[in-house]
A and B are shown apart, each in its own frame.
Chain A
Amino acid sequence: MTTTSRAKNTTASSEQLKALVGDVLAEAKRQGASSAEASVSVNQGLSVTVRLGEVETVEHNRDKGLALTLFFGKQSGSASTSDLSPAAVRDCVRAAATIARYTAADEFSGLADPDQLAREIPDLDLYYPWNPSVEQAIELSLACEDAARAVDARITNSEGATVYSYESTDVYGNSHGFLGATATTRHGISCAVIGQDDSGMQRDYWYTAARDRADLEAAAAVGKKAAERSVRRLGGRKLSTRQIPVIYEAPVASSLLSHFVGAIRGSSLYRRSSFLLDHLGKPVFAPQVRIHEQPFLKKALGSTPFDNDGVAPANRDIVRDGILQGYVLDVYSARKLGLRSTGNAGGVHNLTIEPGDQDLAGLLRQMGTGLLVTELIGFGVNGVTGDYSRGAAGFWVENGAIQYPVEEITIAGNLKDMFRGLVAVGNDVDPSGNIRTGSILIESMTLAGS
Chain B
Amino acid sequence: MNNALDTARRTLLAPAGLDETDLDRLLGQILTHRVDYADLYFQYSRHESWSLEEGQVKSGSYNVEQGVGVRAVSGEKTGFAYSDEILLPALSDAATAARAIARSGASAGMPVRQRSGAVPKLYAPLDPLASLEDAAKVKLLETVEAEAKRADPRVTQVMASLSGVQEVILVARSDGGLAADVRPLVRLNVTVIVEANGRRETGSHGGGGRVSYQYFLENDYARTYAREAVRQALVNLDADDAPAGSMQVVLGPGWPGILLHEAIGHGLEGDFNRKGTSAFAGMVGQQVAARGVTVVDDGTLADRRGSLNVDDEGTPTQKTVLIEDGILKGYLQDTLNARLMGVAPTGNGRRESYAHMPLPRMTNTYMLPGIRDPREIIASVEKGLYAVNFGGGQVDITNGKFVFSASEAYLIENGKVTRPVKGATLIGNGPDVLTRVTMVGNDLALDSGVGTCGKDGQSVPVGVGQPTLLIDGLTVGGTQQQ
Contact = CB atoms under 8 A, between A and B. Distances in A.
Interface of A: 1-8, 51, 54-64, 76-83, 88, 91-92, 95-96, 98-104, 106, 109, 134, 157, 159, 194, 200-203, 233, 236, 238, 241-243, 271-273, 375, 377-380, 382, 384-385, 387, 389-391, 393, 407-414, 446-450
Given A57-B80, A58-B101, 6 more contacts: A77-B59, A80-B61, A99-B50, A103-B57, A202-B399, A380-B403
Contacts of A54: 76-77
B479 A446 contact: yes
Given A5-B97, A5-B100, A448-B245, A385 B201 contact: yes
14 contacts: A4-B100, A58-B77, A76-B58, A80-B63, A96-B61, A102-B135, A103-B138, A241-B245, A272-B193, A273-B202, A382-B202, A387-B422, A412-B424, A448-B475
B403 A391 contact: yes
A412 B477 CA distance: 6
B277 interface: yes
A157 B200 contact: no
A407 B403 CA distance: 12
B61 A77 contact: yes
Given A378-B404, A389-B405, A241 B481 contact: yes
Contacts of B2: none
B399 A82 contact: no
Given A64-B84, A241-B482, A449 B246 contact: yes
Interface residues of B, number: 85
Given A102-B138, A448-B245, A410 B425 contact: yes
B322 interface: no
Contacts of B460: none
Contacts of B478: 389, 412, 446, 448
Given A4-B100, A78-B61, A82-B65, A203 B396 contact: yes
Contact of A201 (B93, B244, B398): B398
B60 A56 contact: no
A382 to B, nearest CB: 6
B423 A382 contact: yes
Contact of B275 (A159, A389, A413): A159
B401 A272 contact: no
B67 interface: yes
B427 interface: yes
A103 B50 CA distance: 9
B476 A448 contact: yes
Nearest to B52: A104
A104 B399 contact: no
Nearest to B243: A448
B239 to A, nearest CB: 9
Interface string B415-459: 000000011110111000000000000000000000000000000
Interface stretch (B209-217, B376-384, B386-394): B386-394
A227 B172 CA distance: 40
Contact of B60 (A99, A157, A384, A410): A99
B66 A379 contact: no
B94 to A, nearest CB: 6
Contacts of A77: 59-62
Q: Is the interface of B mostly helix, strand, loop or mixed?
A: strand
Contacts of B398: 194, 201-203
B81 A7 contact: yes
A62 B83 contact: yes
B56 A2 contact: no
Interface in B55-113: 56-67, 76-85, 93-94, 96-98, 100-101, 103-104
B100 to A, nearest CB: 4
A271 B101 contact: no
Interface in B255-307: 275-277, 279
B465 to A, nearest CB: 21
Given A95-B62, A109-B58, A379-B392, A157 B77 contact: no
B352 to A, nearest CB: 13
Contact of A408 (B94, B98, B156, B475): B475
Closest 4 CB pairs of A and B: A410-B477, A378-B403, A391-B403, A380-B425
A380 B424 contact: yes
A391 B60 contact: no
B277 A390 contact: no
Nearest to B85: A83
A62 B477 contact: no
B53 interface: yes
B390 to A, nearest CB: 10
A379 B43 CA distance: 32
Of the candidates B77, B98, B429, the one having the most CB atoms from chain A within 10 angstroms of its own CB is B77
Given A271-B157, A390-B425, A390-B477, A55 B101 contact: yes
B475 A410 contact: yes
B242 A56 contact: no
A76 B61 CA distance: 10
B56 to A, nearest CB: 4
Given A380-B477, A382-B202, A58 B100 contact: yes
B159 interface: yes
B247 to A, nearest CB: 10
Contact of B403 (A91, A101, A273, A390): A390
Contact of B479 (A106, A385, A391, A412): A412
A201 B401 CA distance: 11
B249 interface: no
Contacts of A92: 62, 64
A57 B201 contact: no
B100 A201 contact: no
B395 interface: yes
B475 A409 contact: yes
A55 B77 contact: yes
A157 B395 contact: no
Nearest to A5: B96
Contact of B202 (A60, A384, A409): A384
Given A2-B103, A6-B97, A243 B62 contact: no
A393 B401 contact: yes
Of the candidates A241, A414, A448, the one having the most CB atoms from chain B within 10 angstroms of its own CB is A448
Contacts of A202: 398-399
Interface in B170-217: 193, 195, 200-202
A146 B101 CA distance: 21
A384 B203 CA distance: 10
B457 to A, nearest CB: 11
B53 A102 contact: no
A395 to B, nearest CB: 15
Contacts of A63: 84, 355
Contacts of B67: 82
B429 A408 contact: yes
A387 B137 CA distance: 35
Contacts of B144: none
A65 B159 CA distance: 28
B281 to A, nearest CB: 9
A388 B100 CA distance: 48
Contacts of A449: 245-246, 475
B134 interface: yes
B335 to A, nearest CB: 15
A194 B63 contact: no
Contacts of B323: none
Contact of A57 (B78, B104, B245): B78
B357 interface: yes
Interface string B231-244: 00000000000101
Contact of B97 (A7, A100, A273, A391): A7
A450 B423 contact: no
